[in-house]
Amino acid sequence: MEKNNGFCVSNLSSNLLITCFIALITTVLFRVLYVIYRTGKPLSKRASRQPLSTLIVLGSGGHTAEMINLLLVLQKDRFAPRFYIAAATDNMSLQKARVLENSLADSSGVKRVSAEFMQIYRSREVGQSYVTSVWTTLVAMAHALWLMIKIRPQVVLCNGPGTCIPLCVIAFFFKVVGIRWSSIFYVESIARVKRLSLSGLLLYKLWIADQFFVQWPQLQRKYPRAHYVGCLM
């Protein structure tokens, strides 16, 4: 008799476990679908002029030059505080960002807006084998999670370097679990005329970017959800 009871109880509890598990999976799935549905929809008009905390992802060479080109015309009082992240092996990008921020502080008489500059481990170095990249990407993800928990930005601006992928994926994750709703803007590099970069392809196909901008008409034809904005440089 006892054996039977014991068997019944364990059966019940494992049933309960399975039910809970399925409920969890279903909730997460619906939440993910909801986030994807909301992605790309403009935010409702805001009554307050409160600025939005902004994460700016910098990348070597042309990427940073293109980002600075955009930042120069951005209404800086709407995007603050600003957090700049560059790859750990990129020495020049943060320096260029600092120069930009310093010039802002000099020209305006207003109280200086805080800007922070951080470095992140790279998912993959140029030319690195895809096999070892799996491990380095995991390390980069962990580091990105750490940084994102500290920053929790409301806006993410990126334009192509691989460093933006872990950060954008985590921003998406934050949307799903309700930690922070962020608007993710991706501007594909001007150097991409006919094919998207790997970062661009991932953010486009996975519906992670809220707005996806391309600078050449050939890309807009191939990727109809992208916005064609012409050459920005």
The residues binding another protein (CB under 8 A) are 42-46, 49, 52, 60-62, 65-66, 69-70, 72-75, 78, 92, 127, 155, 183, 185, 187, 189-195, 197, 210-211, 213, 215-216, 227, 229-233
- Tell me how far, at minimum, the Cβ of 20 lies from another protein, in Å: 38
- Tell me how far, at minimum, the Cβ of 7 lies from another protein, in Å: 59
- Tell me how far, at minimum, the Cβ of 46 lies from another protein, in Å: 4
Across the chain, the runs of DSSP E, i.e. the strands, are 52-57, 79-87, 115-120, 155-158, 183-187, 211-214, 227-228
3-state secondary structure of 41: coil
Nearer Cβ to another protein, position 48 or 107? 48
Nearer Cβ to another protein, position 78 or 98? 78
- Tell me how far, at minimum, the Cβ of 64 lies from another protein, in Å: 9
- Tell me how far, at minimum, the Cβ of 69 lies from another protein, in Å: 6
- In the chain, DSSP finds a helix count (H) and a strand count (E) of 7, 7
Q: Which of 201, 207, 215 is nearest to 41 (CA)?
A: 207
- Tell me how far, at minimum, the Cβ of 146 lies from another protein, in Å: 26
Q: Which amino acid is at 84?
A: Y
Say how far residue 65 (Cα) sits from the centre of its chain: 19
122 and 87 Cβ atoms separated by less than 8 Å: yes
**∠ CA 172-175-179 to the nearest 5 degrees?**
120
Distance CA 189, CA 233 (A): 10
48 and 169 Cβ atoms separated by less than 8 Å: no
Nearer Cβ to another protein, position 39 or 136? 39
Nearer Cβ to another protein, position 5 or 44? 44
64 and 96 Cβ atoms separated by less than 8 Å: yes
